[in-house]
């Protein structure tokens, strides 16, 4: 058995099937694989939360690297040897950020592998032999792949594709608003218009189950971004209140001053 299957795919496939089994135990409720996919997505996102927090902390550093490389291309565009050397030295000086980005990319590729196999074979019951021996024996096949009774997870669905693109536009808008850097017109067009349109075309023929995973991931990111923005605003308000309190305290005269005596 392939090592990636044993270490990555098999655990998450078992988690997905277990969620489906739990849903099937709800009295008067038919198990819905779409809801199980949402639960699996949330599990993956929670496990990846430390990486998400680290990625947020390195946002300014990544932007600095991008600006340095952009300026180098502008200054050394006609000198490819010097340009290559400058880019290499920039990456070398920021090795920690580069390694972090590489790890993040590797994890994203592994998740893609997990999802691809789940939606091409796992959901159809072809990987039932990968279930652990301690898994419940009352798991019923075939799985119910009709999410909310409307969307077949094994086939493309244009409605979910449209929802996905709208959600991408919403998330990118929040990211631009939350960015500590000035928003340019090119960034607005690239992230709020071009990226959602490109994703609509790119994911058009993918099964609805993959889109459901992406939509859930995006909404997790939206909620995370909103919480981060709210915490930042609350921190600013508390800082202002604290500064006002300090100013008010410093403005009040001590009890033994003439001003204080006159008022008594």
- Is 261 inside a domain boundary? no
> Would you state the pLDDT for residue 180?
64
> Would you state the pLDDT for residue 95?
65
Are 90 and 211 contained in the same domain?
no
Are 28 and 45 contained in the same domain?
yes
> Would you state the pLDDT for residue 264?
44
Are 138 and 179 contained in the same domain?
no
Of the residues 109, 128, 151, which one is the last residue of a structural domain? Answer: 151
Are 62 and 25 contained in the same domain?
yes
Are 104 and 195 contained in the same domain?
no
Residue written as tokens 């040897």?
Answer: 81
Are 139 and 118 contained in the same domain?
yes
Q: Considering its fold, how many domains does the chain have in total?
A: 2
Q: Could you read off the pLDDT of 235-251 as tens digits, one per residue?
A: 888 888 887 777 666 66
H or E element at residue 121: none
- Is 262 inside a domain boundary? no
Are 186 and 76 contained in the same domain?
no
H or E element at residue 152: strand 151-152
Helices 195-202 and 158-178: angle between axes, nearest 10 degrees: 150
Provide the whole-model pTM.
0.75
> Would you state the pLDDT for residue 55?
66
Q: Which residues of 69-106 are buried (b: 16+ CB within 10 A; e: fewer)?
A: eeebeeebeeeeeebeebbeebeeebeeeeebeeebee
> Would you state the pLDDT for residue 181?
65
Question: Nearest CA to 199 among 174, 168, 222, 170?
Answer: 168
Are 47 and 86 contained in the same domain?
yes
- Is 257 inside a domain boundary? no
Helices 49-57 and 95-117: angle between axes, nearest 10 degrees: 150
- Domain range enclosing 161: 155-245
* Segments of the chain with pLDDT less than 50: 259-260, 263-264
For residue 146, the SS3 value is strand
């Amino acid at each position: 058995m392939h090592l990636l299957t044993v270490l990555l795919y098999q655990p998450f496939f078992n988690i997905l099937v277990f969620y489906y089994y739990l849903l099937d135990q709800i009295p008067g409720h038919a198990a819905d694989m779409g809801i199980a996919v949402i639960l699996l997505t949330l599990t993956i996102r929670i496990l990846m939360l430390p990486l998400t927090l680290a990625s947020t902390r390195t946002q300014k550093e990544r932007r600095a690297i991008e600006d340095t490389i952009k300026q180098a291309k502008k200054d050394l565009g006609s000198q490819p040897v010097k340009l290559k050397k400058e880019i290499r030295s920039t990456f070398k000086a920021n090795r920690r950020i580069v390694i972090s980005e590489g790890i993040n990319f590797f994890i994203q590729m592994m998740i893609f592998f997990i999802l691809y196999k789940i939606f091409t074979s796992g959901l159809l019951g072809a990987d039932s032999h990968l279930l652990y021996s301690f898994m419940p024996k009352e798991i019923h096949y075939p799985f119910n792949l009709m999410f909310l009774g409307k969307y077949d997870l094994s086939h493309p669905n244009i409605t979910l594709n449209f929802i996905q693109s709208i959600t991408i536009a919403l998330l990118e808008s929040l990211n631009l608003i939350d960015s500590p850097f000035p928003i340019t017109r090119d960034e607005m067009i690239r992230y709020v218009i071009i990226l959602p349109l490109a994703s609509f075309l790119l994911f058009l023929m993918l099964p609805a189950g993959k889109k459901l995973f992406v939509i859930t991931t995006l909404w997790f990111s939206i909620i995370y971004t909103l919480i981060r923005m709210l915490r930042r605003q609350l921190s600013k308000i508390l800082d202002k209140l604290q500064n006002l309190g300090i100013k008010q305290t410093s403005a009040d005269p001590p009890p033994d001053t003439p001003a204080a005596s006159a008022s008594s």
